[in-house]
Amino acid sequence: MPRCPGSYDNNTWDNCEGTVKADGDKYVGEWKDDKEHGQGTNTWPDGSVKEEGIWKDGEYAHSLVSVTNNQTGTTYRDGDGVLQNYKEALKWYLLSAEGGNKDAMLNIARLYQAGKVTDTLNLTDRISDWWNETDSTTSHGRIKAYMWANLAGDDLRDEIAESLTASELEKAQALSSACLKRKYKGC
């Protein structure tokens, strides 16, 4: 990208690369519509890295590593140059989601929604399903799909919510809250 012209105080920056300092912090990176947008780095006053990665509309979105992990997940999901493997795709998407990547969260939601991946149920749930002639795996998949779409902040969650019972929706929302508190780790 071209360098941003002049100083930030006197110009509106768009589709350029520049630097701005505020409260001792320093952002160096790409701009769009006068906001941090694209690849950039925000450093503390002492020069140590505060956030480095992808910015969207002035907000830190996710790390560069999470972008690579999301792309690797898509490669496995689509079988692009590798054998198609949804479990392997899920593994890479989860790594990306732990970095805060909303696109990866949405990809996870879609895998669960389509039934391409399922979580292993514990023995108690499997016995209960057998005894009651039910299938908790399908319900659990919809719950996880809602959870990830909700965390991604995508309208897909509303579509998924229509397929959930009230208790499943409550459980999905509780899982979303718990995952958010754990900063997307181990979800």
Q: Tens of pLDDT along 18-39?
A: 777 777 788 888 888 888 888 8
Find out whether 18 and 9 touch, Cβ atoms under 8 Å: no
**pTM attached to this predicted model:** 0.68
For position 182, what pLDDT does the model report? 92
Span 108-120, average pLDDT: 91
The partner residues of 22 in beta bridges, in order of sequence, read 25
> Nearest Cα to 144, choosing from 110, 181, 100?
110
For position 113, what pLDDT does the model report? 94
* Most confident among 87-91, 97-101, 183-187 (mean pLDDT): 87-91
Span 158-181, average pLDDT: 93
Geometric angle at alpha carbon 128, from 124 and 131, rounded to 5°: 140
Residue 168, pLDDT > 70, answer yes
Q: Where are the beta strands (DSSP E) in the chain?
A: 16-22, 25-32, 35-43, 49-56, 59-62
